[in-house]
Amino acid sequence: AMLDRIKQIDPKVRAFLHVTEDLALSQAAQVDEKIAREEEIGILEGIPMALKDNMSTEGIQTTCSSKILENYIPPYNATAVAKLKEAGAILLGKMNMDEFAMGSSTENSHFFATHNPWDLDCVPGGSSGGSAAAVAAEEAIFTLGSDTGGSIRQPAAFCGVVGLKPTYGAVSRFGLIAYASSLDQIGPFTKTVEDNALVLQAIAGHDSKDSTSVPFEIPNYSEFLKQDVKGLRIGVPKEYFAKGLDEGVKGVLMKAVETFKGLGAIVEECSLPYTEYAMPAYYLLATAEASSNLARYDGVRYGYRAENVEDVISLFKKTRSEGFGPEVKRRIMLGTYALSAGYYDAYYLKAQKVRTLIQTDFNQAFEKFDVLLSPTAPTTAFKIGEKSGDPLTMYLSDVCTVPINLAGIPALSLPAGFVEGMPVGMQLMGRPFSEGMLYRAAHAFE
Ligand code: GLN
């Protein structure tokens, strides 16, 4: 049924880069056999899902929506992918994204743009736009995305689905093709909070193959859904309701605040004073890390290799000039500059200090509040082409999401209402490893 749905709807939405039809059918047949034999089944047994194309899938092309990895076939599975397989989920295919997860609209894909299922003239958000659009268009029951500065939450908001960025270190990054390693996290897109908790249950946990993965006791996330929000302390950071926020979006969020009050939560305004420095710090740190991570694409070890080259240097130059798209090149240049001798202290080091201040902001807020509430993005989905010529305006769609990655805390986006027929996302943020609390609040609301 899912494969039929993809055939019917994906020519319009264009969420999939690659549909693994034969594999899906053979996996499904195995599930049928397992059930016929009355064997024990996994928590996601037989559930059709799809993956952002920056997650390594053994024997299946993994392109990061880049020409430089167009023909790359990983010899192993990412840990999150292996865990989903273990849990019995069925892979439908790989999803479109901004090249190397750099972007907020999925227009930076080397292959094609994805369309928002609510309005095909609009972007689905990014960089995990394909993953978000597929769940919204019912082309998969769930998908995985990655979030470095908002790439799960912002497309979840634009497409009207639930998206979680887990605590840094809660889900293994092994096999996730790196953009900015100190910020990247894998997380689920689903239609409901309940489904989201089940997928997180399957993928969370310590992994010795990822040195930044944290050993922690995995709670039963679904248990949290049984609790109400009476007495829950919700902070509303005023900096997230500042200029640039669409009036309609603000109205939806204010109504959400009233709903929470009606449910018995204690909602109060609070302040995260360093918020305004998050954006510049993020774009320095993320590009610095990216410039280092992307140095490995040189035409020797992976993917695309330029032809007619004279020597090694011209092989590197030609391969990278032809293989990377304009946004990726812009970021490699910015990051290389920020890390270069003489500028390191002025930019990179300063940004690291700002990062610490932002963490302190959140720590202080969480002394008083259990959860913080904000818009996920300042506007609803914008038109395809509207911002693609102006990188700075595009970067501003992340203003509500990037501080969370700098702090390493978990945050979830869930549908809160509509403005002119387009979905609005509400972001809930919590203390490290408080995903259960976020699910509890989100489930009470939805
Ligand atoms: N839009 C942000 C960026 O372009 C975030 C991307 C992401 O989270 N992968 O960097």
Per-residue pLDDT reduced to its tens digit, 136-187:
999 999 999 999 999 999 999 999 999 999 999 999 999 999 999 999 999 9
CB 79 less than 6 A from any atom of ligand 1: no
Q: How far is the CA of 142 from the centre of ligand 1 (A)?
A: 21
Ligand 1 atom with minimal separation from the 128 CA: 9
What pLDDT band is residue 261 in, cutting at 50, 70 and 90? very high
Ligand 1 atom with minimal separation from the 148 CA: 8
- From CA 168, how far away is CA 184, in angstroms rounded? 8
CB 66 less than 6 A from any atom of ligand 1: no
Tokens of 227: 């609790």
Mean pLDDT of 1-16: 98
Tens of pLDDT, residues 390-427: 998 898 889 999 999 999 999 999 999 999 999 999 99
Q: How far is the CA of 244 from the centre of ligand 1 (A)?
A: 19
Best residue among 95, 148, 285 to mutate for probing ligand 1's pocket (most ligand atoms within 8 Å of CB) is: 148
Q: How far is the CA of 306 from the centre of ligand 1 (A)?
A: 28
Residue 370: how many other CB atoms lie within 10 Å: 21
Burial class (CB in 10 A: 0-12, 13-18, 19+), 288: buried
pLDDT of amino acid 322? 98
CB 163 less than 6 A from any atom of ligand 1: no
CB 334 less than 6 A from any atom of ligand 1: no
CB 102 less than 6 A from any atom of ligand 1: yes
User: Is a pLDDT exceeding 90 seen at residue 243?
Assistant: no
Tens of pLDDT, residues 272-314: 999 999 999 999 999 999 999 999 999 998 899 999 999 999 9
Tens of pLDDT, residues 199-238: 999 999 999 999 999 999 999 999 999 999 999 999 999 9
- The CB-side HSE value for 329 (13 A sphere, CA atoms) comes to 13
SS3 content of the chain, % helix, strand, coil (to 5): 45, 15, 40
| Model ipTM value | 0.97
Catalytic residue numbers, as ranges: 52, 127, 151
What pLDDT band is residue 341 in, cutting at 50, 70 and 90? confident
CB 184 less than 6 A from any atom of ligand 1: no
CB 151 less than 6 A from any atom of ligand 1: yes
User: Is a pLDDT exceeding 90 seen at residue 368?
Assistant: yes
CB 199 within 8 A of CB 44: yes
- The domains of the chain, with CATH numbers, are 2-224 (3.90.1300.10)
Residue found by looking up tokens 């939560």 in the block? 265
pLDDT of amino acid 121? 98
pLDDT of amino acid 393? 87
Query: What percent of the chain is modeled with pLDDT above 90?
Result: 96
Residue nearest to atom 5 of ligand 1 (CA): 149
Q: What is the mean pLDDT of the chain?
A: 97
Task: Choose among 211, 182, 107, 233: nearest CA to 348.
Answer: 182
pLDDT of amino acid 253? 98
pLDDT of amino acid 34? 93
Give this prediction's pTM. Answer: 0.98
